[in-house]
Amino acid sequence: MSAGAIRGRRAAGFILGGLALLLGLAGSILLGAMNYSPETAWDALFRYDPNVTDQIVIRTTRLPRALIAAAVGASLAIAGAIMQTLTRNPLASPSVLGINAGAGFFVVSASVLLSVSHLQALMWISFVGAAAAAGVVYILGSAGREGLTPIKIVLAGSAMTALFASFTQGVLALDRQSLGSVLFWLTGTIAGRSPEMLATVFPYMAGCWVAAWLLARGMNILLMGEDTSKGLGQRTGALKIGIGVIVVILAGGSVSIAGPIGFIGIVVPHMARYLVGTDHRWVIPFCGVFGAALLLLADIAARFIMIPEELPVGVMTAALGAPFFMYIARRGIGKS
């Protein structure tokens, strides 16, 4: 790709992503079981009158939901992008490598068995679960002479996913009362989450978005190969640990709010790289914007597919993302 073509694509991608994000935010606030007019939404945001029911609904339900979708989508997409760089594997993402499942299991166990309900505590527990899964998968995937091969890390991830999934099922079988409330969350949903949840996790997420962008130059060099990276004076060990921590916080934080939503982390980075090339200083912001937009749109679609019921958005993203995953797997993983 020539420099001019890349610049053109970046501009196009920027406009496209920005539009999709705005459209998603607007749609998420206006559309649903009740449709609201843009004027009502405008009033609710800027001329809030607590006596008007519509405005209350927008402020307490629709707006938090839109913001949560955007934050979680951006986080998962960025986590996926930097995982794909770290493992040099186009199939890597928080869901495929079992990180979401690990965080999910820890959160379910803590809330069902130990009755933890404090948001801050649940968030940290989710981080721990994500870190445990990520550590095991990374160590297993990189053991052996050839180091990190795609097949090894994907298999390790799917084994961990299966392990955590059945443990979660076991915990839920112990306590059937909580099953109904947890089941929806376990599929991945952003409906009915409280704004406090977002407020708890958001500072960490935002910090990680910035940190990921600051590490972008290092990741560009890492992509050239570990030896080159070391030769250029980069501390690869520290960089990798940094990336790992960011992934754990982004994925763990997302799970603690919205449950294990899959495949955003694999679809979006590929879209972003297609548009803006492999430079992480561009890939990461674009992943943020596209990830937010995609999850917003998926969440809107989830409200309309089975009216009057709402689909868990995790089902939507899996229906979109799993075929994409298979397409990437089929195309051959050496090439990307």
Partner 1 sequence: MNRGSRWIPYGLLFGCLLAALLSASLGETFISPVRVFGSLTGAGSEAEAMIVEKLRLPRIVTSLLAGASLAAAGAILQGVARNPMASPDILGVTGGASAAAVAFMTYGLGVLSIRWLPVAAMAGAAVAALLLYAFAWKKGVTPLRLVLVGVGMSSLMSAATTMMIVFNPRNDAGQAYTWLTGSVYGANWEQVLLLLPWTAVLLPAAMLMKRHVNISQLGDEVATSGGSRVQRVRFLQLMLSVALAGSAVAVAGAIGFVGLLAPHMARKLVGADFGRLLPVSALLGAWIVLLADLAGRTLFLPLDVPAGVFTAAIGAPFFIYLLYVNRNQ
Residues near partner 1 (CB under 8 A) are 91, 95-96, 136, 140, 143-146, 150-152, 154-156, 158-160, 162-163, 165-167, 169-170, 172-174, 176, 179-180, 183-184, 186-187, 262-263, 306, 309, 311-312, 314-315, 318-319, 322-323, 325-326, 329-330, 333
CB closer to partner 1, 219 vs 258: 258
Alpha helices by DSSP H, listed for 189-235, are 195-214, 216-223, 226-231
Q: Which residue, 55 or 254, is less far from partner 1 as judged by CB? A: 254
Smallest separation, CB 178 to partner 1 (Å)? 10
Question: Least Å distance between CB 224 and partner 1?
Answer: 25
Least distance between partner 1 and beta carbon 98 (Å): 10
Closest to partner 1 by CB, 21 or 137:
137
Nearest-angstrom CA–CA distance, 288 and 250: 12
Distance (Å, whole) CA 146 – CA 193: 44
Instruction: Provide, rounded to whole angstroms, the least separation between the CB of residue 180 and partner 1.
Output: 6
Between 16 and 148, whose beta carbon lies closer to partner 1?
148
Minimal distance, residue 24 CB to partner 1, in Å: 21
- Longest Cα separation, the chain: 67
Do 58 and 25 contact (CB within 8 A), yes or no?
no
**Least separation in angstroms between CB 264 and partner 1:** 13
Cβ-based nearer residue to partner 1, 88 or 280: 88
End-to-end CA distance of the chain: 15
3-state secondary structure 267-282: HHHHHHHHHHCCCHHH
Cα gap 265→77, rounded to integer Å: 4
Nearest to partner 1 of 17, 321 (CB atom): 321
Residue pair 239/215 in contact (Cβ under 8 Å)? The answer is yes
Nearer to partner 1, 3 or 33 (CB): 33
Task: State in angstroms the smallest separation of the CB of 234 from partner 1.
Answer: 27
Q: Six-digit token pair at 282?
A: 């561009």
CB of 332 to partner 1, least distance (A): 8
Do you know the residue count of the chain?
Answer: 336
Q: Pick between residue 12 and residue 151 the one whose CB is nearest to partner 1.
A: 151
Task: Report the C-alpha gap between 28 and 51 in whole angstroms.
Answer: 23
Alpha helices in the chain (DSSP H): 3-30, 38-46, 53-57, 63-86, 99-113, 119-142, 150-174, 179-187, 195-214, 216-223, 226-231, 236-258, 264-276, 280-304, 313-331
